[in-house]
Amino acid sequence: MLDSPQSLLAGLGAEIAAGNLIPFLGPDALLLDGPSPVPSGARELALLLASKVGVPGRIKGNLWHAAQYIETHKHRVTVDKMMADIFKTVPVPNALHLWLAGLTRLPLIVDTWYDGAMRAALDGVGRSDWGQIQGASKARRLDGGVWSRAVGASGEIVGDESAGDWKTVLYKPHGAAQPTGDVLVSDADYVEVLSDIDIQTQSAVPTPIPQAVKTRRVGRGFVFLGCRFYDQILRTFARQIAKHSGGPRFAVVPDDLTRNEIRFLEIEGIQPVPMPLADAVTVLIHGESPK
């Protein structure tokens, strides 16, 4: 007999707390307490950017294309300033962020959005044994061939080797508005990344997936929370980050998945758990169904 979603989620919560499953957060995680002060998805962000700069109608709903249009016609500096302004407000960490921040046995948190809520949660619980690794745009990449940068708990840029001493790595694959303001958002940002992201060597050759992430995912599974996979870039990053992890994969999903999303879950062996995210988080944290 199959476990109920509530029973399954209670077990997943215990496995996350034990460090055996890695939480993979999408922008919908910002909506647990109601509307977010920053955009909570690629389409919403694309439309906001398009409202500030005239973007052709055929691409204004596609984040990567819209950002590329602005970069091409208004310069990359304009894109960076717009993103910094849009994500200047840090959402108040919700119950999910605070719960994850308090799990000292959790080796890795993947957060795929640009906001600073998860970082604020780690700061808020008083931890100093963590650090952030974030994707770096081609325009601002350090040392030419480096795909990402490491940032300590106090906000200083540090060497990649520092991640070996952190109990928890907060991985922001698309970059982050805080503290460095470096983001991947335009088509140009992703050209090289998407060309090389499937190189999953364990050698010293840098690849878009940081070595600290590769090391910490070994033998562990993933739980996708607040994620949608309607876009090829979103699917590619989820696939490659979870690649070679070796563990089971689960996703809390809404009831309006597209055919592409359903197919993606099937191909990647991700077990869908249909439940409203807020209810699922309550079970993950407390091990019981919401009242």
Q: pLDDT by residue (tens digit) across 103-144?
A: 999 999 999 999 999 999 999 999 999 999 999 876 655 544
Question: Residue 138's CB: how many other CB atoms inside 10 A?
Answer: 15
**Mean pLDDT over residues 142-155, rounded?**
77
Confidence (pLDDT) at 144: 44
- Among candidates 120, 124, 167, which has minimal Cα distance to 19? 167
User: What domains, with CATH codes, occur in the chain?
Assistant: 5-38+87-286 (3.40.50), 39-86 (no CATH)
Q: Which residues pair with 23 in a beta bridge?
A: 223
pLDDT exceeds 50 at position 1: no
Q: Is 175 strand, coil or helix?
A: strand
Confidence (pLDDT) at 289: 60
Confidence (pLDDT) at 167: 98
Q: Please give the C-alpha separations between residue 46 and each of 32, 51, 167, 286, in angstroms, as whole numbers.
A: 22, 9, 35, 36
**Mean pLDDT over residues 214-225, rounded?**
96
Query: How many Å apart are CA 106 and CA 100, to the nearest integer?
Result: 8
Q: Which residues pair with 270 in a beta bridge?
A: 249
Query: How many Å apart are CA 257 and CA 229, to the nearest integer?
Result: 9
pLDDT exceeds 50 at position 145: no
In the chain the first and final C-alpha atoms are separated, in Å, by 25
Q: Report helix angle 232-242 to 259-267, nearest 10.
A: 20
* Confidence band, pLDDT 50/70/90 cuts, at residue 208: confident
C-alpha Rg value of the chain to the nearest Å: 18
Amino acid present at 6: Q
Express as a percent the part of the chain with pLDDT over 70: 92
Model confidence, pTM: 0.94
**Mean pLDDT over residues 83-100, rounded?**
97
Q: The tokens of 290 are what?
A: 């919401």
Mean pLDDT check: name the lowest of 30-39, 154-163, 195-204: 195-204
HSE-CB at 166 with a 13 A cutoff on CA atoms is: 30
Residue 133, Cβ density class (10 Å: 0-12 exposed, 13-18 middle, ≥19 buried):
buried
Q: pLDDT by residue (tens digit) across 182-204?
A: 899 999 988 878 777 766 554 45
Query: How many Å apart are CA 100 and CA 9, to the nearest integer?
Result: 15
Q: Is 109 strand, coil or helix?
A: strand
**Mean pLDDT over residues 56-78, rounded?**
94
